[in-house]
Structure 1
Amino acid sequence: MDTTKLVILETSDLHGSIYPVSYADQSCRDVGLGKAATLIRREQAAGNQILLIDDGDLIQGTPLLYHYVKCDHKRPNPMVLLENRLGYDGAVIGNHDFNFGRAVLEKTIRNSDFPWLSANIVSSETGQPYFGRPYLIKEFANGVRVAVLGLTTRYIPVWEKPENILGMRFDDPVATARRWIPRLKNEGRADVVVVAYHGGFERDPDSGEATETPDGENEGYRICTDVPGVDVLLTGHQHRRISGKIIHGVTIVQPGVNGKYLGKVVVDLASKGERWQITGKRSGLLSVSGVPADRQLLRLTDPYEADTEAWLNRPLGRIEGDMRVTDPMDVRTRDHPLIEFINWLQMKVSGVDISLTALFDNASPGLPEHVTMRDIMANYIYPNTLKVIRISGRDMRAALERSASYFMLLNGKVTVSPSFTTPKPQHYNYDMWEGIHYIMDISKPVGSRIVKLEYHGAPVTPDGRYDVVMNNYRSGGGGDYQMFRGRPVIKDIPVDVAEIMADAFEKQKVIQARTNHNWKLVYGPYHRKGTD
């Protein structure tokens, strides 16, 4: 009996990360496709049958990709240049791959030497896969046939700008897989069936305990338990590191974020007549820590990197005062000049007097005295635009309660609720508001923590109407802010917030760091943050 081995390699959520650097301060980091490429080359050189898949969120997330889209889009997408050279077999469409608009995504697909897959993103008119390729089948020289079905989180319409997904419908990935898997096994004669899903797990892979509300964002566990015939499930989206686990006979893997790890699944097969039968499966993660980047490969994108660095180093203006971030928790528990500045800008460009924003990441350094484009991009890391929506006072209170649930008290100390850190950090879902006065008492139960809420010196009324500016992600209800979903859009401002920030410095040259202490966090009668 002949035997053979199939090695499946997965990258996911690279988010435009190519070089092993931090763009905020140019320090070295163990990240990027350049390092992952070295591991991929080693696996390819080992003589095994290789299937190489990218699981989505490829083309957004670093200043390099932002600069490419905004200033340099005539050249091919740099991520595609590298994945073409590495010989990727396919890629899955992720939610962030829509962020720069349909034209950028469609050009990326055209320039790829491999198919982009998503069986559940379909035409709203015909019901057929919108991007044409729901799956791929790869046949190796010894006759082993591997099918890969691509699926994408169906939650995208909650987050994405409507114009970026016009004409698309996002179907249930579980039901979609049930329809396609028998076809891949029978008509496609697949010996190994792989589902590559840009989504994660709604239940703990070990215990099966629910870890998320069943809203459809992550449905990997259901794919394993409710879809017969799946051998391997490649996942992403949650930025988790998962390997060495099997759910209902399905081997699973998820390789984290930014190319820190390469997912690897080994499938052992033995011949059985004209077909091959799986005799064993196992998954693991290969770390890029200490691995040198593939310099020969990176020569393809070095010109992009040089242009990006020159753009990032461009001086913009100066700050009087201090907008640096030294303690992310301090920023989120008392009024901070960086947040005040962003909210002030949003109000200025929108013409309304209520705004909200977030400190997106704990790695945000804030703004130094002399500000460059690098400093802007280090803090505002998403290509968000702004919308003004009209909400009720009831909506406002519900949104503030959602933000107040970010905190918990542990032995008298303010800390972050696990619901905002596990299984994926979601610090970007805690908002701070300007234009209203409010107090959060986090010693009270979740849902009843807003103990003061005023607008122009008067209490906010449940049925009152208020125009509020926020980024497009939040205005669509992203981050479980469902109270904003479907509210009237009063104004759409189609300029990236990072560009608005840069423009403010270039025009004003000097910006004052200031706060007005319009909100306060308290926890009990004696412990307070901020001032009235």
Structure 2
Amino acid sequence: MTSILITSDLHGRLDRFKPLVNQMKALNPDLVIDNGDFLDGSPATFYYKHIDKNLHPMIKLANEIYDVAVFGNHEFHHNLSAIQNLGSECYFPWISCNIGEFAKPYFIKNIRGKKFVVVGVTTHFTPVWDEYGYVKDLNFEDALKALQYWVDYVVTNENPDYLIVSYHGGFTEDPLTGTVYQERVGENQANEILEAITGIDLLITGHQHLYINEKIQDTIIIQPASHGIGFFEVQIDFEQGHSYAIFHQLEEDQLSCSYPNEVENWLDQELTYIQRDYSYNGLLTSRLSSHPFIQLIHDMQLKATDAQISVCDLLYMETGGLNGRITNRDLFINAPREHKLRVILLAGIEIKQLIEQSAAVLAMNQNGEIDFSTNVYPHTPMPYQYDFWGGISYLIDIREPVGHRVKNMIFKGESLENEHYYRVVLNSYRLTGYDFPLLKNRKILSETIQTVPFLFKDYLQSGFPSVVPDHGNFKVIYL
């Protein structure tokens, strides 16, 4: 019996990675693969990038277990020299077949007389999310086309006994039921891979943070969820001619492990104390009217720039905000993304169009309750495509059709003028235009030197007013 272990989308969860590695080692695997988005996205990653710049402990652990890793899109949230440095610190190769000479296309391991080939591939939407031009010199070929070429090459020239495709991308439809997740726009091509390419024994997917364990004809199809909650084990019996996948999930106590002491101590350092309550509770309710925490974010962004109008969003979580003793942990929970703030010009009519797009994420469900439209209709905007606008006041009436919901837009006591241009501050991710195409390729008037976590920290420690002013207000009408 041959054993293959697979992780994906760990996003720097060092707190869970150690028990994960211990469990993987105990299985004495023959081949261990990571499917990308390995480090980026956790307090530990921030700490070892900015506070303690020694070798990241996750890399030390990874070097004890992995045979090969595939580049995910989050690996390219850093400049190319940093990515290359990551590769030099790892004892295992990073592969992807659709980034030209930047990475080798596949990996071979011979196990008890059988040749295993892993072809890696990365969603070619990666440059779409590039905020700083890090990948401008790389050519991300269409993942499906590159994979067709390299699978054919491997089959012809390497004659594998077992062919693995490790794709940092996902599905547009459920591979078994056909349930539609999203339109086929190219970000997630796993369905097309299954339709167009034969002979794949194991298809590893990721990027979407889903749990998938299916077998279609002779192909095992998996996606190992995310953030280190577990890993897949694929068992192959060549003699009996069968194979299957098992998901090993961490125990409850392991899911709530701590980071190393130095990280926990840093997270618990007090930054300031806030008298008023700026916390919120409720994923949906916090999006229906002006909230003190949103005003706080607007205040920070407007003070950090020379903008007249501020745009921000909330993380996709039930609770957040600030109250009482504020630590680095509170800061990172509410502002983890290392985006910069950029100021652009937008006409009043464009601002209305953008708020209309945000307003489209809401709908009434069959119980007559306000809900996210993704829960009501198919092919609708995702909840994270919802922004809050400060410096202006407005109403959103979801009883009206999409595109005609925004009313009474007021700037400094006057109606927002369609043809007048306003200085607007947004984060650098929004300006990639991925969720809001109207924002793509806008001329940038100014950009902060620091990223949002540092700007937020400075604001809390030196620029925080006794009472945060209201920068306009909004309300969602639905009854």
Q: TM bucket by the smaller chain?
A: over 0.9
What SS does the corresponding residue of 2:30 show, helix, strand or coil? strand
Report the residue type matching 1:69 in the other structure. K
Match for 1:18 among 14, 19, 31? 14
Q: Is the 8 A contact 2:398 2:477 kept in 1?
A: yes
Asked whether 1:72 is paired with 2:34, we answer no
Q: Is the 8 A contact 1:389 1:475 kept in 2?
A: no
Report the residue type matching 1:97 in the other structure. E
Match for 2:91 among 113, 117, 130? 113
Asked whether 1:7 is paired with 2:15, we answer no
User: Residue 274 of structure 1 corresponds to which residue in structure 2?
Assistant: none
What SS does the corresponding residue of 1:362 show, helix, strand or coil? coil
User: Residue 434 of structure 1 corresponds to which residue in structure 2?
Assistant: 390
Asked whether 1:341 is paired with 2:296, we answer yes
Q: Is the 8 A contact 1:16 1:58 kept in 2?
A: yes
Asked whether 1:258 is paired with 2:227, we answer yes
Asked whether 1:200 is paired with 2:200, we answer no
Q: Is the 8 A contact 1:386 1:492 kept in 2?
A: yes
- 1:423–1:315 CA distance, 2 compared to 1 (3 A): farther
Report the residue type matching 1:262 in the other structure. F
Aligned partners of 1:150, 1:200: CA distance in 2, in Å?
Answer: 13
User: Residue 135 of structure 1 corresponds to which residue in structure 2?
Assistant: 106
User: Residue 156 of structure 2 corresponds to which residue in structure 1?
Assistant: 186
What SS does the corresponding residue of 1:98 show, helix, strand or coil? helix
- 1:429–1:289 CA distance, 2 compared to 1 (3 A): farther
Measured on the aligned residues, the alpha-carbon RMSD in Å equals 2.6
User: Residue 83 of structure 1 corresponds to which residue in structure 2?
Assistant: 62
Q: Is the 8 A contact 2:307 2:424 kept in 1?
A: yes
Alignment length (residue pairs): 477
Aligned partners of 2:204, 2:166: CA distance in 1, in Å?
Answer: 5
User: Residue 17 of structure 2 corresponds to which residue in structure 1?
Assistant: 33
Q: How far does residue 144 in structure 1 lie from its aligned partner after superposition?
A: 0.7
TM-score where L is the length of structure 1:
0.84
Report the residue type matching 2:345 in the other structure. R
Aligned partners of 1:453, 1:509: CA distance in 2, in Å?
Answer: 28
Deviations 1:7-34, CA, capped at 9 Å, x for gaps:
2211111111021xxxxxxxxxxxx212
Aligned partners of 2:465, 2:169: CA distance in 1, in Å?
Answer: 44
Alignment of 1:366-381 (within 5 A): 366-381=321-336
Q: How far does residue 253 in structure 1 lie from its aligned partner after superposition?
A: 0.5
Aligned partners of 2:376, 2:35: CA distance in 1, in Å?
Answer: 24
What is the identity percentage for the equivalent residue pairs of Structure 1 and Structure 2? 30
Report the residue type matching 2:110 in the other structure. E
What SS does the corresponding residue of 1:225 show, helix, strand or coil? helix
Aligned partners of 2:295, 2:275: CA distance in 1, in Å?
Answer: 14
Q: Is the 8 A contact 1:54 1:92 kept in 2?
A: yes
Aligned partners of 1:176, 1:516: CA distance in 2, in Å?
Answer: 49
What SS does the corresponding residue of 1:453 show, helix, strand or coil? strand
What SS does the corresponding residue of 1:495 show, helix, strand or coil? strand
Aligned partners of 1:462, 1:425: CA distance in 2, in Å?
Answer: 25
Match for 1:159 among 129, 133, 145? 129
Deviations 1:60-79, CA, capped at 9 Å, x for gaps:
11111101111222x11222
Which has the higher mean CA deviation after the structures are superposed, 401-410 or 421-430? 421-430
Aligned partners of 2:63, 2:438: CA distance in 1, in Å?
Answer: 43
Q: Is the 8 A contact 1:92 1:151 kept in 2?
A: yes
What SS does the corresponding residue of 1:345 show, helix, strand or coil? helix
What SS does the corresponding residue of 2:213 show, helix, strand or coil? strand
- 1:230–1:184 CA distance, 2 compared to 1 (3 A): same
- 1:496–1:76 CA distance, 2 compared to 1 (3 A): same
Report the residue type matching 1:475 in the other structure. L
Asked whether 1:414 is paired with 2:370, we answer yes
Aligned partners of 2:375, 2:74: CA distance in 1, in Å?
Answer: 22
Match for 1:489 among 434, 439, 444? 444
Q: Is the 8 A contact 2:278 2:323 kept in 1?
A: yes
Deviations 1:476-524, CA, capped at 9 Å, x for gaps:
113x21111112122222411111111112214664345455211101x
Q: How far does residue 291 in structure 1 lie from its aligned partner after superposition?
A: 6.9
Q: Is the 8 A contact 2:281 2:319 kept in 1?
A: no
- In the alignment, structure 2 segments of 5+ residues that lack a partner are none
Q: Is the 8 A contact 1:244 1:282 kept in 2?
A: no
Q: Is the 8 A contact 2:173 2:180 kept in 1?
A: yes
Q: Is the 8 A contact 1:36 1:259 kept in 2?
A: yes
Q: How far does residue 182 in structure 1 lie from its aligned partner after superposition?
A: 1.5
Q: How far does residue 171 in structure 1 lie from its aligned partner after superposition?
A: 1.2
- 1:378–1:434 CA distance, 2 compared to 1 (3 A): same
Aligned partners of 1:11, 1:424: CA distance in 2, in Å?
Answer: 30
Asked whether 1:58 is paired with 2:58, we answer no
User: Residue 22 of structure 1 corresponds to which residue in structure 2?
Assistant: none
Aligned partners of 1:342, 1:378: CA distance in 2, in Å?
Answer: 14
TM-score where L is the length of structure 2:
0.92
What SS does the corresponding residue of 2:429 show, helix, strand or coil? helix
Deviations 1:183-206, CA, capped at 9 Å, x for gaps:
111212211111111111011222
Aligned partners of 1:197, 1:361: CA distance in 2, in Å?
Answer: 25
Which has the higher mean CA deviation after the structures are superposed, 381-390 or 10-19? 381-390
Aligned partners of 2:447, 2:153: CA distance in 1, in Å?
Answer: 44
User: Residue 518 of structure 1 corresponds to which residue in structure 2?
Assistant: 473
- 1:183–1:511 CA distance, 2 compared to 1 (3 A): farther
Aligned partners of 1:472, 1:214: CA distance in 2, in Å?
Answer: 26
- In the alignment, structure 1 segments of 5+ residues that lack a partner are 20-31, 122-127, 271-277, 528-532
Q: Is the 8 A contact 2:281 2:318 kept in 1?
A: no
Deviations 1:136-183, CA, capped at 9 Å, x for gaps:
01111x211111111111112221223321311211000000110011
Aligned partners of 1:215, 1:316: CA distance in 2, in Å?
Answer: 44
Alignment of 1:382-461 (within 5 A): 382-410=337-365, 411-418=367-374, 427-461=383-417
Report the residue type matching 1:366 in the other structure. G
- 1:423–1:185 CA distance, 2 compared to 1 (3 A): farther
